[in-house]
Structure 1
Amino acid sequence: MTRAASATPAPRIVPASGSLWLYAGLALLATAGFFYVNIMSAIVDGLVTGLGFSNPQAGMVGAANIYGASVGSFIAVLLVRRLPWRPALIVLLTLLVLLDLISLVVPSAPLLTGVRALHGVFGGMAVGVTYSVMARTRSPDRAFGMLLLVQFGLGGLGVMFLPTLVPTYGTAVLFLSLAALSTCALVVTFTLPRLAGTDSDTRHGPAPLTRSARNTAALTLLALFLFQAGNMALTAFIIRLGEHFQLDRGFIGHALGWATWIGAAGAVLVIVMGTRFGRLRPLCIATLITLAGTAAFFRSDLGAVFFVANVGTAITWSFVVPYLFGMLSRLDASGRLATLGGFVSKLGLGSGPLFAGYVLRANDFTPLIAAAIVALALAGVAMFLAARRIDLLEPIA
């Protein structure tokens, strides 16, 4: 018996199926709830170039969307065990489509900020409900890996083509793409089978976490917040960063699209590897690559360096996040801790653009890149400590 044995969670509720097709369906549902995060750079750039918003205004709209999602995720933490997941998702996805369509006719920054904040609330609830289902599947690490694979695959399309369409079709193309994805997810909701152990069940509450498990969960949540904030601070303004270094707009769009698609390889690695090599060693390697890739943005005046930096950070982003959610699921098989992780993740994603928007008042990207490196380094320390503890909970297999 190891010294971490006291943190061993309750046995996992295994659903009727743990196939990759099931994981793909759940991944699409979760992606629809916050796909705007994956195309945040296109949205921020579109608001600046299409509607004439300032950098702080565009950053505020993006931040409001994500902070609203944080509120929705927190609500999901409180209600997820009381709601039947399928009816809840049908209602929430329908509301997302309506709010995306409303966003088409809102021209002012303050009003659009409010609409997107409300959109975020419903989207965050939808993601939280889906996360609770994914956390109780047979392999949460692989389930969340599939989520990142879907996000990066669709996100690559978004960042490659949407910025080039905004000058012709305006910002409407951004919100129409979000509405289309939510509509597809709504259809998928009706096709998924009923999954044993994932529907609402109030008869048994989640087992309380031990002190060791709570400390480990706190470290994991801290790592998740800092990792998401550090990455999103740059990602939200990555198109502006490229233009600041006088890169061609067409090159930037294609570089980001290809980098996002290649970045999905990180999620594929998680799906293939699972926890075969534990979590500590893979996360150590990924963090070092993340720091090197982020530092490379200092030389974004070189197109090849800009592209490689985006590829490296995209791969590690899609690699690290599934492991962090898998760690939370390992500590709490009920799914509530993973849902809480969704709340903290969105706080980090929202804090990145908000912080970056104000740092960039002088359009100097050097302080922003440096701040992102510090946040990612601190995230690495927290995730190392958490992964070391969680690796003691189970044999490496």
Structure 2
Amino acid sequence: MRLTTGQKETRSVTYLVAAQLLIFQSSLGQYVTPIYFGVLARQLDYTNQQLAAIGTTEAAASIFVVIAIALFIGRLNMRKLCLVAAGMLTAATLACALTTDPAVLLMLRALVGASATVISSAGMVYVAATAIPVRWFGVQMTLTTLLTMAGLAGMPIIERQFGLPGFYVTLVLLAPATFWSAFVLPAHPKPASEALKGDSSLAASAGWLNPAAIIGLLAILAYAAYIYPMYNFSDRIGTAIGLAPVYIGFVLSATTPIGVVGSLLATTLGNRFGAVRPIAASAVLAGIGYLYFHFSTDVVGFWVAISVMSFIWNFAQPYLVSTVGRADPDGRFVFLNGLAFEGGRILTTFLFAASLSAIGPAGPALLGTVLMTLSALLIYVAVRFIRTGKAQGVESPRQAH
């Protein structure tokens, strides 16, 4: 069964806004990571390896916490979970402003990463429970991208005026939105769409042995393995080709509208062309962008690479996440989306740092090309597996019971 563009949304405006805010507020710190890494390198003399350690520690902590929570997600109160995580995120972020010790900062960033991932994962569960998840994931990407554009442009100014503490305080000022969202959303979200309640086109079996959902997570992991490290190290890559920090921030901000175009396109198309073709086209386009930067490691190549990445990131992600939601109406694998994203980041962060240090700007570009090729192949295999399950008439989890 495929959702049509004419299907009506049954969730309230309050529900939709609150779910969007959960994902945005908890993810903003990750979206401005390139600026944050640049600040640490300039003000505290952090090396590429130390920056990679921070990124990897955040990802590892996120993976551990998300797995632990996912095991009991059916019995957890999602509202209370979000409130606890929001409190941890706020406290840890404020504490980061009070220390310059690398070891202490590393532990605090682990708490920040874990709590932020829990909140954003919960937000994804709420969005996946809407009647038209592709549309609302697209809206979420659009809003997040627009607000991130302001953050990328504003954070360097905040750094110059208030230093590193001002960076952290700015993120904390958004915390009330997370607390409000947790209060107004239901404690136990249930699917709003009949398509999500029992969709045999993507669900292959019940419980944790759900091949369609597992393959969907692997597709997200491969996708994230090239997106996040390249994005996080964009400041370092730009510096390696001689760009000033302010100009790098300008490029990241100026190319953000291209990402808005991608998310708006996903929102408009919805499921009109399914999920296969948009994701496959995204993989091909991203590979072309990285190849261009590999053979043209100059200012133009940097612009092209960042522009392509911005578009693909926002266009493909709604399809990837909603596909897992269609395969997993109970939400346990949707909650693990954060695991797939963080897993992709942790798998390749040190490789990106090593390639940048050893080869220069062309190193990450070459590694990105290889990863995108792998991502495209994995997505193709995942979709073939899902279609085979549908052709064989495999029952969905709810139909099986």
TM-score by length of 2: 0.84
Would the alpha carbon gap of residues 194 and 343 (structure 1) be closer, same or farther in structure 2, given more than 3 Å must change? closer
Q: Which amino acid aligns with 1:36?
A: G
Hey, what's the Cα distance between the residues in 2 that align with 1:76 and 1:256? 34
Matched, 1:334 2:327: no
Q: CA RMSD in A?
A: 3.1
Residue aligning to 1:3 = none
Q: Which amino acid aligns with 1:284?
A: A
Tell me the SS of whatever aligns to 1:246. Answer: coil
Residue aligning to 2:257 = 261
Q: Do the aligned residues in 2 keep the contact of 1:164 with 1:253 (CA within 8 Å)?
A: no
Q: Once the two structures are aligned, what percentage of the paired residues are identical?
A: 22
Residue aligning to 2:95 = 102
Residue aligning to 2:71 = 78
State which of 205, 214, 218 in structure 2 corresponds to 1:210: 205
Q: Which runs of 5+ in 2 are unaligned?
A: 392-401
Residue aligning to 2:57 = 64
Tell me the SS of whatever aligns to 1:34. Answer: helix
Q: Do the aligned residues in 1 keep the contact of 2:19 with 2:127 (CA within 8 Å)?
A: yes
Residue aligning to 2:378 = 382
Residue aligning to 1:5 = none
Q: How does 1:316-327 map to 2 (within 5 A)?
A: 316-327=312-323
Q: Which amino acid aligns with 1:93?
A: A
State which of 364, 368, 372 in structure 1 corresponds to 2:368: 372
Q: How does 1:183-198 map to 2 (within 5 A)?
A: 183-192=176-185, 197=190
Matched, 1:357 2:350: no
Q: Which runs of 5+ in 1 are unaligned?
A: 1-7
Q: Do the aligned residues in 1 keep the contact of 2:23 with 2:120 (CA within 8 Å)?
A: yes
Q: How does 1:82-93 map to 2 (within 5 A)?
A: 82-93=75-86
Deviation by residue 1:264-323 (Cα, 9 ceiling, x = unmatched): 222222222111111222222211111111223236654344223212211111111211
Hey, what's the Cα distance between the residues in 2 that align with 1:49 and 1:107? 13
What's the CA shift for 1:101? 0.3
Q: Do the aligned residues in 2 keep the contact of 1:41 with 1:235 (CA within 8 Å)?
A: yes
State which of 14, 30, 37 in structure 1 corresponds to 2:30: 37
Q: Which amino acid aligns with 1:382?
A: L
Hey, what's the Cα distance between the residues in 2 that align with 1:63 and 1:167? 27
What's the CA shift for 1:194? 7.6
Instruction: Identify the range of structure 1 (333-342 vs 383-392) with the bigger mean alpha-carbon deviation.
Output: 383-392
Q: Do the aligned residues in 2 keep the contact of 1:327 with 1:390 (CA within 8 Å)?
A: no
Would the alpha carbon gap of residues 177 and 387 (structure 1) be closer, same or farther in structure 2, given more than 3 Å must change? farther
State which of 272, 275, 278 in structure 2 corresponds to 1:279: 275
Q: Which amino acid aligns with 1:341?
A: N
Hey, what's the Cα distance between the residues in 2 that align with 1:247 and 1:86? 44
Deviation by residue 1:92-128 (Cα, 9 ceiling, x = unmatched): 1122111100010120212111111122222222223
Deviation by residue 1:114-170 (Cα, 9 ceiling, x = unmatched): 111122222222223222222222122223223322332222222222134324422
Hey, what's the Cα distance between the residues in 1 that align with 2:119 and 2:104? 23
Matched, 1:219 2:215: yes
Q: Do the aligned residues in 2 keep the contact of 1:76 with 1:128 (CA within 8 Å)?
A: no
Tell me the SS of whatever aligns to 2:166. Answer: helix
| Matched positions, count | 377
Q: Which amino acid aligns with 2:299?
A: G
Would the alpha carbon gap of residues 90 and 242 (structure 1) be closer, same or farther in structure 2, given more than 3 Å must change? same
Would the alpha carbon gap of residues 173 and 387 (structure 1) be closer, same or farther in structure 2, given more than 3 Å must change? farther
Hey, what's the Cα distance between the residues in 2 that align with 1:348 and 1:233? 9
Hey, what's the Cα distance between the residues in 2 that align with 1:242 and 1:353? 17
Q: Which amino acid aligns with 2:49?
A: P
What's the CA shift for 1:196? 6.3
TM-score by length of 1: 0.85
What's the CA shift for 1:252? 1.8
Hey, what's the Cα distance between the residues in 2 that align with 1:72 and 1:183? 23
Hey, what's the Cα distance between the residues in 1 that align with 2:386 and 2:167? 40
Q: Do the aligned residues in 2 keep the contact of 1:280 with 1:391 (CA within 8 Å)?
A: no
Residue aligning to 2:394 = none
Hey, what's the Cα distance between the residues in 2 that align with 1:169 and 1:58? 22
Residue aligning to 1:127 = 120
